[in-house]
């Protein structure tokens, strides 16, 4: 990757910003002993008052896609697509799965440290277990979406924008259903999104700095705009047409 330093710096900056936001939110949550904020109460109250049967059924179906085998399968598939050679594909798939799994492990540790309780059981419209901050479904779907977006940006040739929007909407929808179904506070979902951005940024920064060149996908190490080189079709430096009428 010709511009690996630039990618590392950008990803690292995004990670630092997200971690800073997450740290502030976690301090607010723990400082209040897990008590819901005004935003939490307002959005839960709105959700409870707007639950037609069809909307609840759709929300349950969508929220179910944010956990279990499906996210890992999608991440593995994204890794296989990103790998440009037979040697790269298993490595990129393994790295993607490792990113998701380790993120989940760290998220679980943070959840135990904050010890925030979920909203009251009477508001639940789906099954849930464990503590509340940050939201597990939200974190999982956001991490999965981030890795899918990376794969699409590197490999998709047609319909990239539409596919990226669909992936982003899916992850956002999973997070919002957790509030709508009454099993998470809104700040739990916000914390999951911030955590996912921070974790993905840290992994991408590390990959850009330390991943061997032979494992970098060709689409990420090619020439042109992605690599910061000359535009396609531009004459190389030193062979530009001369202006014979120019006088110094």
- Residue 55, judged by CB atoms within 10 A of its CB (0-12, 13-18, 19+), counts as middle
pTM greater than the 0.75 cutoff: yes
- Ramachandran bin of 228, using left for φ above 0, alpha for ψ from -120 to 50, beta for the remaining angles: left
CB 205 within 8 A of CB 12: yes
Answer yes or no: is 219 within a domain.
no
Q: How many domains does the chain have?
A: 1
In a domain, 81, yes or no: yes
Selection from 144, 137, 176 nearest residue 71 by Cα: 144
**CA 207 to mean position of chain CA atoms:** 16
Q: Report pLDDT for 5.
A: 81
d(CA 150, CA 29): 31
Q: Is 111 helix (H, G, I), strand (E, B) or coil?
A: helix
Does some domain include residue 235? no
Nearest 10 degrees: CA dihedral of 26, 51, 171, 44?
Answer: -10
Question: Pick from 174, 70, 185, 180: which is nearest to 131 by CA?
Answer: 185
- Residue 244 φ then ψ, to 5°: -70, -20
* In-domain check, residue 236: no
Following CA atoms 3, 6, 149, 87 in sequence, which dihedral angle do they give, to the nearest 10 degrees?
40
> What would the two tokens of residue 108 be?
């679980």
Backbone phi and psi for residue 125, each to the nearest 5 degrees, phi listed first: -125, 10
* Domain membership flag for residue 27: yes
10 lies in some domain: yes
Spell out the per-residue pLDDT of the chain, length 248, in tens.
Answer: 447 788 888 999 999 999 999 999 999 999 999 999 999 999 999 999 999 999 999 999 999 999 999 999 999 998 888 776 777 788 889 999 999 999 999 999 999 999 999 999 999 999 999 999 999 999 999 999 999 999 998 877 788 899 999 999 999 999 999 999 999 999 999 999 999 999 999 999 988 887 766 555 554 444 333 333 333 334 444 444 444 444 44
How many residues are present in the chain?
248
- Residue 62, domain member (yes or no): yes
- What is the DSSP-derived secondary structure letter of residue 130? S
- CB atoms inside a 10 Å sphere around CB 188: 30
Would you state the structure tokens that stand for residue 5, as one six-digit string?
A: 């330093």
Provide the residue range defining the domain that includes 150.
Answer: 1-212
Is 34 in a helix, a strand, or coil?
coil
- Interatomic CA distance for residues 182 and 83, integer angstroms: 40
Residue 134 within a domain: yes
**How many Å is the maximal CA-CA distance in the chain?**
84
């Amino acid at each position: 990757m010709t511009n690996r330093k630039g990618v590392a710096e950008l990803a690292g900056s995004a990670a630092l910003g997200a971690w800073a936001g997450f740290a502030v939110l976690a301090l607010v949550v723990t400082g209040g002993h897990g008590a819901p904020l005004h935003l939490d109460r307002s959005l839960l109250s709105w959700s409870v008052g707007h639950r037609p049967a069809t909307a609840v059924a759709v929300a349950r179906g969508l929220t179910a896609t944010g956990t279990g085998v499906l996210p890992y399968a999608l991440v593995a598939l994204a890794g296989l697509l990103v790998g440009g050679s037979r040697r790269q594909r298993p490595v990129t798939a393994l790295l993607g799965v490792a990113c998701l799994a380790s993120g989940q492990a760290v998220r679980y540790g943070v959840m135990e440290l904050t010890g925030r309780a979920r909203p009251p059981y009477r508001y639940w419209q789906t099954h849930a277990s464990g503590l509340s901050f940050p939201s597990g479904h939200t974190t999982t779907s956001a991490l999965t979406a981030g890795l899918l977006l990376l794969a699409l940006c590197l490999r998709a040739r047609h319909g990239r924008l539409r596919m990226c929007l669909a992936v982003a909407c899916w992850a956002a929808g999973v997070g919002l259903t957790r509030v709508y179904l009454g099993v998470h506070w809104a700040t739990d979902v916000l914390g999951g999104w911030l955590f996912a951005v921070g974790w993905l940024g840290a992994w991408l920064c590390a990959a850009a700095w330390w991943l061997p060149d032979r494992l970098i996908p060709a689409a990420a190490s090619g020439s042109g705009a992605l690599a910061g080189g000359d535009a396609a079709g531009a004459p190389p430096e030193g062979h530009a047409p001369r202006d014979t009428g120019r006088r110094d």
